[in-house]
């Protein structure tokens, strides 16, 4: 599932974070975001070299408007998408260890547009 969203309209609360990784038009780097109702973690995908980097380099922030509800009909049905630089299976196994994760998103794009890949919804 891929959505194109105007950052300034839908993500004003995390625009600065997103822009750290996608200021240059056409960049292939994105931000990996792991989110829950309590907190959101993010890391620039370009800095990830192994699955362990996710543990050591995640930066946590207070939750904001992580995704506009109107853009997704039923998140529980969305279970596959791009998963950044790693093989999908490796991420599936690792994500199950993130107990309170609700969203696992990867952002990529330009400074004006961002592609959102919804990759993982935990079972509640």
pLDDT value, residue 70:
39
- What is the tens place of the pLDDT at every residue in 84-103? 333 333 334 333 333 444 44
Per-domain residue ranges of the chain: 2-120
pLDDT tens digit string along 8-55? 333 333 344 444 443 344 444 445 555 544 444 555 555 555 545 555
**Per-residue pLDDT reduced to its tens digit, 54-72:** 556 555 544 333 444 333 3
pLDDT recorded at residue 81: 31
Question: What distance in Å separates the CA atoms of residue 10 and residue 119, rounded to the nearest whole number?
Answer: 19
Kindly state the tokens that stand for 109. 């794009």
Please say whether the beta carbons of 111 and 25 come within 8 A.
Answer: yes
């Amino acid at each position: 599932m891929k959505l194109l969203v105007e950052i300034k309209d839908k993500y004003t609360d995390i625009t600065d974070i997103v822009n750290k990784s996608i200021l240059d038009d056409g960049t292939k780097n994105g931000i990996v975001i792991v989110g829950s109702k309590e907190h959101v973690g993010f890391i620039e995908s370009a800095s990830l070299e192994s699955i362990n980097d996710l543990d050591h380099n995640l930066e946590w922030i207070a939750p904001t408007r992580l995704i506009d509800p109107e853009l997704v009909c039923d998140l529980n049905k969305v279970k596959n998408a791009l998963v950044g630089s790693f093989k999908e299976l490796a991420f599936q196994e690792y994500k199950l260890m993130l107990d309170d994760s609700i969203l696992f998103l990867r952002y990529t794009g330009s400074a004006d547009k961002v592609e959102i890949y919804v990759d993982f919804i935990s079972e509640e």
